[in-house]
Structures are given as structure tokens and as C-alpha cells.
């Protein structure tokens, strides 16, 4: 059975490609003389590589970044392998061999990885320097190592730890990166993520690497009113039912009706990324009507109050509010979690 023969979905995720393109152009402008690339790891932050990558490619993006080697095949179906970089770098000989075979660029994060890459034949790569986040990257003391000098480095990069805050660490990392990267013969330099772009021209260098803001996230107030919502989830009503006063809803009877009411059982649950943190806080929407959640979020469904939308029937679609800043405030989830947790049952 092909996808076209499948029954209609009860979950769908509308991708606003105009907003996606507009967000990239805005981030590219904010990057000044630097060019904005695109982080597309985790299936383009949950929105779907097959939709996102061609859209960004056609908009003008030429540098793409994933985290895992397993993400490579889906991406290079749409772009040249030389446009794609793998942030985690080669951990095994097989990773280095795969990079050599495909032409994808590894990001070298340690002297071990540098040696592994050189032993595989070397060639163009990127280099990550740790300037204070203490995740991946060679240390500042290792910048002058002979192994580093043997690398054919395209982009030397680092990653900001607190760009979404007005932290002294931002300026410290900028200073460390500026000094360390001067001693490395790379074609270009890259430091800023989405939030880093908003810190100003000093952080942009030659290439910026936005992720969250491309997809509608607002990591700093400077981006409010500039970045637009991209992901618009919708779910179908599976059943409409009448409650009597005293009837409870869902697991542990977390909600009990105090009067007769009409409710809808909606095809959306924590297996789809709509986590239990939304319980008793969230609401779905239909037109101008708000449909509060009743009881706990289940694995595959939620129950909502249809008092303000009695016209809704089985099979009707309702909207899942997903403006990321506001959704984060209500749910307690980060904007990153809200995007990347969107499950595969959404028809994208």
C-alpha cells in the first residue's frame, strides 16, 4: 500500500513555507556580511527534511548542518553532499569512510577525530573549538597541535552556551574564539546560532548557523515581531459525547464535570509530542472558540470541552496552538522540545 492509498490521517502538520523562507531571509539580513546557513538536524527540528531542505535550498541556503551520520542520506537527496556538515564528526573508521565516500564534510571535535580523519585520507573538513560550553570541540590548548595543522579546514567554528541570555559568558566566548581562530588557516569562521545572531555583528563572522529561529522559535526579544510561526499542528475529533454532572474524564478521574457538558475526544497525545505537561493547562482552537483540555493527556488522545463550539462533529479538524514562545510558557517545555518532540504520526 502506498502513502496515497492510506486512509486520511487524523493528525497533520502544516508547514508555512512562506514563513520559513521569510525567517531565513530575516536571519540572513541580521547576520550582516555573514551568510546564514541552516541547522536541519533532528529531521529539520521535527518539521520534515523532505519539506524543509528543498525550501531553504531554493531560498538561497548553501550550508546545512546535521548531528548524526544517519541523517545524511535523507538530506543529500536534496542538496550537494559538500553543502552538508555532520556536527558530531567521525567516531569510528566507518564514519570517516562514509564521509569520504559521500563527500559530506565532518566537523572535527577532538584530536582523536582529527587523527581518524587524516588516516582515512583527510580532505576538506570543519573544526569545532570549545570556548566555554564544554561539550564537543578541541580545547583552546589543543589549537596549536600538529594534528590540527594537518587538517584542510573549511570552517572553524565554536558554539555559544548562553546566547539567549545577557550573560558575560557571551563576550568571553567571543574573545576566546576570535583569538583562537586567528591561528587556524580556515576559509571562514562561524560562531553564532539563532540567539547569537541577535547579539550583533561582532558574533556573525563569515557564517551563522540558525536553527530554532528558522522554525518559528524566538530565543531573544530582538526577534519578536520578526520571526514568524512555521509549524501549525491540527488534530481530528474522533468522538463527540455528552457528560452528566459527576462524570469524570480520563485517567485518575482528574476532571469531573459539575454540570452537563459536550466534549470531544481528539486524536492527539503524548506519543505525538503533546506531553502531559499540557494537562489542565492547554486548549485547542476552532475558529475563534477555545476548547480547554479536560483531565490528563493520554498517549493517543485528549478530551476537550466543546461548549463554545457545539457545531463540531466527528472528523472535524481543530487547531493545536503552537506559537512557540507562548506554548513554552504554558507547557513548561522549551521551544526546542516543542518542535523536536512532534511525532511521526503527524502527516507532514
Q: Cβ distance 72 to 86 under 8 Å?
A: yes
Catalytically annotated residue among 41, 45, 203, 296: 41
User: What are φ and ψ of residue 182, in 5° steps?
Assistant: -65, -25
Handedness of CA 30, 36, 38, 39 (dihedral sign): negative
Q: How far is the C-alpha of 242 from the C-alpha of 247, rounded, in Å?
A: 10
Cell numbers standing for residue 4: 496515497
SS3 for 213-273, per residue?
A: HHHCCCCCHHHCCCCCCCEEEEEEEEEEEEECCCCEECHHHCEECCCCEEEEEECCCHHHC
Identified catalytic residue from 45, 251, 281, 322: 251
The DSSP element (H or E) to which 105 belongs, if any, is: strand 105-108
289 exposure class (CB count in 10 Å sphere: 0-12, 13-18, 19+): middle
The verdict on whether 41 is a catalytic residue reads yes
Cβ atoms of residues 233 and 239 within 8 Å: no
CB-CB contact of 127 with 151 (8 Å): yes
Catalytic (active site) residue 281: no
SS (H, E, C) 283-299: EEEECCEEEEEECCCCC
Q: What is the largest CA-CA distance in the chain?
A: 76
Q: Which residues does the annotation mark as catalytic?
A: 41, 251
Amino acid at each position: 500500500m502506498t502513502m496515497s492509498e492510506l486512509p486520511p490521517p487524523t493528525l497533520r502538520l502544516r508547514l508555512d513555507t512562506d514563513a520559513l523562507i521569510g525567517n531565513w531571509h530575516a536571519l540572513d539580513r541580521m547576520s550582516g556580511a555573514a551568510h546564514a546557513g541552516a541547522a536541519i538536524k533532528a529531521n529539520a527540528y521535527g518539521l520534515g527534511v523532505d519539506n524543509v531542505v528543498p525550501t531553504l535550498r531554493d531560498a538561497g541556503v548553501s550550508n546545512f548542518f546535521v548531528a548524526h551520520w544517519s541523517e545524511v542520506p535523507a538530506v543529500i537527496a536534496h542538496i550537494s553532499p559538500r553543502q552538508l556538515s555532520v556536527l558530531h564528526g567521525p567516531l569510528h573508521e566507518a564514519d570517516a569512510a562514509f564521509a569520504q565516500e559521500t563527500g559530506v564534510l565532518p566537523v572535527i571535535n577532538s584530536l582523536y577525530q582529527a587523527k581518524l580523519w587524516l588516516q582515512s585520507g583527510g580532505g576538506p573538513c570543519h573544526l569545532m573549538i570549545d570556548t566555554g560550553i564544554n561539550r564537543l570541540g578541541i580545547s583552546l590548548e589543543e589549537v596549536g597541535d600538529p594534528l590540527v595543522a594537518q587538517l584542510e579546514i573549511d570552517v572553524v567554528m565554536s558554539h555559544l552556551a548562553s546566547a539567549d541570555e545577557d550573560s558575560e559568558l557571551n563576550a568571553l566566548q567571543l574573545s576566546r574564539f576570535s583569538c583562537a581562530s586567528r591561528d587556524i588557516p580556515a576559509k571562514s569562521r562561524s560562531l553564532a546560532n539563532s540567539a547569537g545572531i541577535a547579539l550583533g555583528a561582532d558574533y556573525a563572522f563569515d557564517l551563522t548557523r540558525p536553527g530554532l529561529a528558522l522554525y518559528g522559535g524566538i530565543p531573544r526579544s530582538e526577534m519578536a515581531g520578526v520571526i514568524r510561526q512555521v509549524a501549525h499542528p491540527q488534530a481530528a475529533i474522533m468522538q463527540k459525547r455528552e457528560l452528566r454532572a459527576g462524570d469524570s474524564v480520563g485517567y485518575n478521574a482528574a476532571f469531573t464535570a459539575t454540570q452537563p457538558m459536550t466534549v470531544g475526544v481528539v486524536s492527539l497525545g503524548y506519543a505525538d509530542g503533546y506531553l502531559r505537561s499540557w494537562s489542565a493547562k492547554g486548549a485547542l482552537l476552532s475558529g475563534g472558540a477555545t476548547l480547554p483540555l479536560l483531565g490528563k493527556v493520554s498517549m493517543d488522545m485528549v478530551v476537550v470541552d466543546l461548549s463554545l463550539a457545539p457545531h463540531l462533529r466527528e472528523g472535524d479538524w481543530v487547531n493545536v496552538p503552537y506559537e512557540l514562545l507562548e506554548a513554552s510558557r504554558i507547557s513548561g517545555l522549551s521551544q526546542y522540545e516543542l518542535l523536536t518532540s512532534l511525532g511521526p504520526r503527524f502527516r507532514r
